[in-house]
Chains A and B, each alone.
Chain A
Amino acid sequence: MDFDAFLLSRLQFAFTIAFHILFPSFTIGLASYLAVLEGLWLATGRERFKTLYLFWVRIFALSFGMGVVTGVVLSYEIGANWSGFAAKSGSVLGPLLAFEVLTAFFLEASFLGVMLFGWKKVGRKLHFAASCAVAVGTLFSTFWIVSANSWMQHPTAFATLPDGRLVATDWMRVIFSPSFPLRLLHMVLAAYLTTALVVGAASAWRLLKTPDETESRTALIMAIGMFALVAPLQLAVGDQQGLKMGELQPAKLAAVEALWESRAGQPFHILAWPDRALQANRWELSIPRLGSLILKHDPNATVTGLKAFSRADQPPPLPVFYAFRLMVGLGLAMIGLGVWGALLIWRGSPERSRVFLWTCVAMGPAGFVSVVSGWVVAEVGRQPWVVYGVQRTADAVAPLQRGQVSASLLGFLMVYAIIFSAGVIYILRLIDRGPAAGAAPPPPDEGRAPGVSFNAALDPDTTEDGR
């Protein structure tokens, strides 16, 4: 193995997976939101739910496409860049990933076609069923992939064969490994929050421009409801995860809190500069005993510090420490936004407060930032292990050379930059135009069989040669 190929593989994997997770975090929530909107439309017959559906489904189509193509990349990188990992854990994790394909990806991909192109081809109820199937598919997908990841965080119910490969000894305990339930809940709530923040920001933006747009008002209120309900729940789940982490991955917990010494009554560092070479913090700004209170729910409890682990087993504390604070800080801000919005609704009209609307716009990307920070905490905090305590990341890497991995990393950087900028521009452009513009009534069915994408319904200046 070539050491640079190892570093480059890590960089490439971190980049491609962080890029991928942006789209699922949004499409998981949006798929459920779309199913709810269509259900509300069918149940109440109110046009505005249909208008909102037709508007968001176009944004969904764009994001889902990006989610699919970046996801396919990951499923091949596991073998191409981490063949040591694939060979060792394949018999345990492989089935979980295969079940993801069988239960989720086929469901999503097939019914997505009906959802996007079948508006005029199938009845209303069947179309609604397709929307629901896609929503359920995204949740199945989350289930399996988070299950696989949870097992990597705390492997259980496996045995090691003489040639070093792992086999499962109890599938239920592999699938439902100890950190899985909380992690799954945290991820699904994260996806719902991310979507709600985007919907809230888009609606607020429209309301700043056209204060009496009823669709946007409805959407804003739905989004505020989600902040107010889900954000506090997320805090509670995250808190439980912290307790679990202390039990299952004490080294990660010590890195998250930048604690070096093991002792009772640990402080909480608001800010610090952990330095691995020094094996201490260069400086810190702390509140005494609060650390133990948060991490163990007891101000006098003992919390293990990083020094209890040999240097080779310590995760890098700096990124983990700050990523965690970013996630929690934004989570608290989301709770604040929910409370503020609920108060405004209680007083009558949230769309009148321009300060609130601008804050919603500013918070639009907060979900994405929190999700990526959360995964940095989970994954970088797991280092130097790829399968915690069982296989080191350095032993997982494929026998590749530096040149190859540089070339592929460069390719991903370039292609993803193009895809990302175009995708973001198209989505922002749709949002700017608002729900009413996108919901031009479909023409009468001419009895032909075109699959018609909602995204085809754009202004006439989109023909290729500019006619």
Chain B
Amino acid sequence: MSLDLPLIWAGIIAATVLLYVMLDGFDLGIGILFPFARSPADRDAMMNAIAPVWDGNETWLVLGGGGLLAAFPLAYALLLPALYLPIILMLLGLALRGVAFEFRLNGRRSGKRFWTMAFAGGSLAATFAQGLVLGGFIQGVKADGVVFAGGPFDWLTPYSALVACGLAAGYVLLGAGWLMWKTEDALHGDARRWTAIAGVLTALLLLAVSLATLFLHPRVAARWGVVDGTVDWSRFLPKAPIPLLGVAGLGLLTFGLRRASHALPFVGAVLVFLSGYLGLAAGFMPYVAPYVLTFRQAAAADNALALMLGGAALLAPAIVGYTVWVYWVFRGKVGADAGYH
């Protein structure tokens, strides 16, 4: 067969992770913003803006994990033990915030207050943990052959903490942008303010992370044409559209905020994420586990990849179709009237 199956699957997994980051990104971001809401009614509205879709959003994370296991089992088996503690922290955070959607509606006074905190705390913990995972991933993992050979805290560095802060700011930006789109009145005004603040923070942190990556990780820097402090323009220019896309996203964000548009800021935030993500991908291709395993070395047997490609080709249109339909059913502004009474 002439299809380059590992390459196709690398693309599919990358697209899955990107979709996950953007979709769950906005609902995790709303969780982080929870404590800043003015009133319980606003918090109800914030939750209503994501309650029907969060489970579908999180399913992209399960597909990312399951897909990695199925398509690149060696990378899955190497990365997860290497990033064990942040992964567990993420899972615990996701568990607390996930049940909070329904539990918060059932709790009485103290229960409700507890699940409000759990929703915010769980979202923050999960986001921060994902940032640490990302930072640890960029730093690369130690391996002996294809087996993890590092220590339990390899991922913990100032660099990964910086990445985690950047990711948190980005998720808050997505969340605030989503809220601007979905809400009205005072809450919409708050969301606008949050979007502006998060936009500035995201821009600064994205810049800081990019610079830190160039200084700390020469392999990535070389990809961008930065070697020993000098820039090789012939290598940089072909990649220049990626940072420009980010600048365009920030521009759209600012423009949308100025024009009091409801939807443009979210679109701008999405472009910023896309730029950051492509930037990362450009720094790593072809590694799935930096800098030990390429996607070809980690790939599953061809017959497994082929079987799944057939399945995915059949099922993906249906999944995308009904996912879009669900978003369409729940289109429009949400209110705080989170009840029948």
Contact = CB atoms under 8 A, between A and B. Distances in A.
B92 interface: yes
Nearest to A402: B152
B62 A419 contact: no
Contact of B51 (A68, A448, A453): A453
Contacts of B147: 83, 399
Contacts of B303: 91, 167-168, 171
A117 B67 CA distance: 29
Contacts of A329: none
Contacts of A171: 303, 307
A90 B148 contact: no
Given A94-B69, A95-B307, A457-B339, A167 B109 contact: no
B107 A87 contact: no
Contacts of B80: 76, 79-80, 83, 86, 398
A463 B40 contact: yes
B282 interface: no
Given A452-B338, A457-B340, A69 B95 contact: yes
B67 to A, nearest CB: 6
A449 B182 CA distance: 10
Contacts of B334: 448-451
Q: From DSSP, what is the main secondary structure of chain B's interface residues?
A: helix
Contacts of A95: 70, 304, 307-308, 311
Contacts of A111: 322, 326
B333 A110 contact: no
A211 interface: no
A412 B95 CA distance: 10
A422 B107 contact: yes
A169 B335 CA distance: 55
Contacts of A102: 63, 311-312, 315-316, 319
Nearest to A97: B66
Contacts of A117: 51-52, 330
Given A68-B58, A106-B323, A110-B322, A460 B102 contact: no
B301 A80 contact: no
B108 A121 contact: no
Contacts of B149: 399
Given A87-B77, A423-B103, A458-B339, A415 B40 contact: no
A167 B307 CA distance: 12
Contact of B56 (A97, A109, A116, A118): A109
A411 B112 contact: no
Interface in A93-109: 93-95, 97-103, 105-109
Nearest to A451: B52
Contact of A404 (B61, B73, B77, B84): B84
Given A114-B326, A464-B112, A453 B102 contact: yes
B99 interface: yes
A404 B89 CA distance: 11
Interface bracket on A: 35 or more
A461 B51 contact: no
B18 to A, nearest CB: 17
Interface stretch (A58-66, A190-198, A376-384, A386-394): A58-66
Given A65-B101, A451-B330, A461-B109, A400 B91 contact: no
A103 B308 CA distance: 12
Interface in A422-465: 422-423, 426, 429-430, 440-443, 446, 448-453, 455-458, 460-465
A70 interface: yes
A399 B83 CA distance: 12
A94 B304 contact: yes
B126 to A, nearest CB: 11
A61 B102 contact: yes
B66 A100 contact: yes
Interface string B294-305: 000000110110
B226 interface: no
Interface of A: 61-62, 65-66, 68-73, 75-76, 78-81, 83-84, 86-87, 89-95, 97-103, 105-114, 116-118, 121-122, 161, 165, 167-168, 171, 398-401, 403-404, 407-408, 411-412, 415-416, 418-419, 422-423, 426, 429-430, 440-443, 446, 448-453, 455-458, 460-466
Q: Which 3 A-B pairs have the closest CB atoms?
A: A90-B73, A94-B70, A449-B332
Given A79-B68, A398-B84, A403-B152, 13 more contacts: A69-B94, A72-B62, A87-B146, A90-B73, A94-B69, A94-B70, A117-B52, A418-B96, A426-B107, A449-B334, A455-B102, A456-B338, A457-B340
14 contacts: A62-B103, A65-B102, A70-B95, A91-B73, A95-B307, A95-B311, A114-B326, A168-B303, A398-B77, A399-B81, A449-B332, A451-B52, A458-B106, A464-B112
Interface of B: 40, 43-44, 48, 51-53, 55-56, 58-59, 61-63, 65-71, 73-74, 76-81, 84-85, 87-89, 91-92, 94-96, 98-99, 101-103, 105-109, 111-113, 115-116, 146-149, 151-152, 300-301, 303-304, 307-308, 311-312, 315-316, 319, 322-323, 326, 329-335, 337-341
